[in-house]
Amino acid sequence: MLYSFPKHSRLCGQNRIAQLYRDGKRVVVWPLRVTYMPLPEELASSHNEVLVWAPKSLFKRAVKRNRLRRLIREAYRLNQGILQAEPGMQQGYMIAFNYMDKEEQAYRTIEKAVSKALKRIKDEGMKG
């Protein structure tokens, strides 16, 4: 298990982000709202692409937004093994983590939310 978060694991591009928010499924695991969908077939691979967002409307200071994004990315980086594809399955996901709480939460709370969200995504992928 490699605990890294390389560039190809970051979700980029207006069209792909718009497609994720338009067609993706949503789940709320407080303090996060997670939107996800399988990668399109032309891009399908075993890696996931992740977007992390903390709203300016809730946190006016960039320092706080950057800290929250850093905490969410770290929690994802350490828990990304939950979504490891089973042998023979090459399923990747586009995932957006949106921070919703008006207060900054501790890292432990954020990590629990991220791991719970990843488990839900995996369970949903196993069903469908």
H/E segment holding residue 71: helix 62-79
Q: Which amino acid is it at 12?
A: C
How many domains does the chain contain in total?
Answer: 1
> Is 126 a member of any domain?
no
Q: Cα-atom radius of gyration of the chain, to the nearest Å?
A: 14
Distance between CA 52 and CA 70 in Å, rounded?
9
- In whole angstroms, what is the distance from residue 20 CA to residue 10 CA? 13
pLDDT tens digits, one per residue of 53-88: 999 999 999 999 999 999 999 999 999 999 876 655
Q: Is residue 125 part of a domain?
A: no
Q: What is the pLDDT along the chain (128 residues), one digit of tens a residue?
A: 578 888 888 999 999 999 999 999 999 999 999 999 998 877 666 689 999 999 999 999 999 999 999 999 999 999 999 987 665 556 789 999 999 999 999 999 999 999 999 999 998 877 76
Does residue 107 sit within a domain?
yes
- 68: nearest Cα among 36, 109, 119: 109
Q: Which domain holds residue 109?
A: 7-120
Q: Within a domain: residue 101?
A: yes
Domain presence at residue 128? no
Residue 38: CATH number of its domain: 3.30.230.10
Instruction: Give the pLDDT score at 85.
Output: 62
